[in-house]
């Protein structure tokens, strides 16, 4: 589903954001991207939504080689990938409902259908009662839920969450992680960037650890690792 092969990214300043990394994420998988600030987590997300291109290597999402993807197809790619941005990127002049409905508007979904879908997804993330409020009236956890709802509203196959627990207290952080786990169980592939050690330690999921743009560790939980081994033996 997602494959990064020998990917390096050199920025205009001459600094390398990523150095020769290989990552493969399967369908319906939940993977954490872990590492300190500046380790390259956000750069990977930017490559996956083709906000930037790799300096070397190939990035493949859903059989699309992103370096070869024509410009006019980028909107199609971005409709297939839901993204929760680190800075949320919510519009503060629009209500919760309007923010969440934006991807549907962009996709040309009819108003009645869009209203129904927004209500569904707001119910799923547990903030339906706040739908007519403006972002400024919500708490940090609620804002994260709005961002998750907007990322989910087009029922994407992949959800990328860039530090969604970054500014939250531990209890709210766990609520968000639980919400993302539930979404993953329903079949969405999730990659979540975090440097919250507590979450990484207590949740039995794959962890891809980055440091200075290089992968220093790629651990799968024991049960998943044995499942993959079995599948490989079958092949």
Partner 1 sequence: MKFIKSSLRTIRRSPYQAFAAILIMMLTFLTISFFTFLLSGSARIINFFESKPQVTAFFRNETKQSEINALEAQVKNTGKVSSVKLVSKQEALKIYKEQNKDDPLLLDLVTADILPASLEISTFKISDLSVISEMLKKSPAVSEVIFQKDIVSTLVSWTAAVRSIGSGLIIVLSLVSTFIMITIIGIRISQRKEDIEIMRLIGASDWYIRLPFLFEGMFYAVLGAVIGWTIASLSLWYLAPFLSSFLKGIPIFPVSLIFLLGVLLAELVFAIILGFISSFLAVLRYLR
**What residues make contact with partner 1 under the rule CB under 8 A?**
49, 51, 72, 75-79, 83, 85, 89, 91, 102-103, 105-107, 150, 154
Nearer to partner 1 by Cβ, of 54 and 156: the residue is 156
Task: Tell me the C-alpha distance between 172 and 117, whole Å.
Answer: 25
Q: Cβ of residue 168: shortest distance to partner 1, in angstroms?
A: 22
CA atoms of 172 and 178, how far apart (whole Å): 10
Q: How far is the CB of 116 from partner 1 (least distance, A)?
A: 18
- Which CB atom, from 32 or from 85, has the smaller least distance to partner 1? 85
CB atoms within 10 A of CB 222: 9
Q: Which is nearer to partner 1, 80 or 214 (CB)?
A: 80
Residue 59 CB-density burial (10 A; 0-12 exposed, 13-18 middle, 19+ buried): buried
Closer residue to partner 1, CB minimum distance, 90 or 168? 90
Task: Tell me how far apart the alpha carbons of residues 56 and 119 are, in angstroms, rounded to a whole number.
Answer: 43
Cβ proximity of 56 and 39 under 8 Å: no
Please give the structure tokens belonging to residue 60: 């493949």
**Shortest separation between residue 233's beta carbon and partner 1, angstroms:** 40
DSSP annotation of 151 reads H
In angstroms, what is the minimal distance from the CB of 108 to partner 1? Answer: 9
**Looking at beta carbons only, is 110 or 235 nearer to partner 1?**
110
In the bound complex, what is the minimum distance in angstroms from residue 158's beta carbon to partner 1?
A: 13
CB-based contact 121:97 (threshold 8 Å): no
């Amino acid at each position: 589903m997602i494959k990064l092969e020998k990917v390096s990214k050199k920025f205009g300043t001459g600094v390398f954001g990523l150095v020769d990394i290989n990552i493969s994420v399967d369908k319906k998988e939940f993977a954490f991207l872990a590492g300190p600030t500046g380790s390259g987590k956000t750069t990977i997300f930017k490559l996956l939504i083709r906000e930037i291109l790799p300096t070397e290597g190939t990035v493949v999402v859903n059989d699309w080689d992103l370096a070869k993807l024509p410009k006019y197809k980028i909107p199609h790619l971005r409709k297939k990938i839901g993204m929760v941005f680190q800075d949320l990127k919510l519009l503060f002049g629009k209500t919760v409902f309007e923010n969440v409905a934006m991807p549907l508007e962009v996709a040309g979904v009819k108003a009645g259908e869009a209203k129904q879908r927004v209500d569904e997804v707001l119910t799923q993330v547990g903030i339906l009662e706040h739908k007519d409020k403006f972002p400024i009236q919500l708490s940090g956890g609620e804002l994260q839920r709005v961002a998750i709802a907007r990322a989910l509203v087009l029922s994407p196959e992949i959800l990328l969450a860039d530090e969604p627990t970054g500014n939250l207290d531990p209890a709210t952080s766990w609520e968000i992680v639980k919400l993302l786990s539930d979404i993953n169980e329903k079949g969405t592939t999730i990659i979540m960037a975090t440097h919250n050690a507590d979450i990484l330690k207590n949740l039995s999921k794959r962890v891809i650890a980055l440091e200075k743009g290089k992968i220093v560790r790629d651990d799968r939980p024991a049960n998943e690792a044995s499942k993959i081994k079995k599948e490989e033996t079958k092949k």
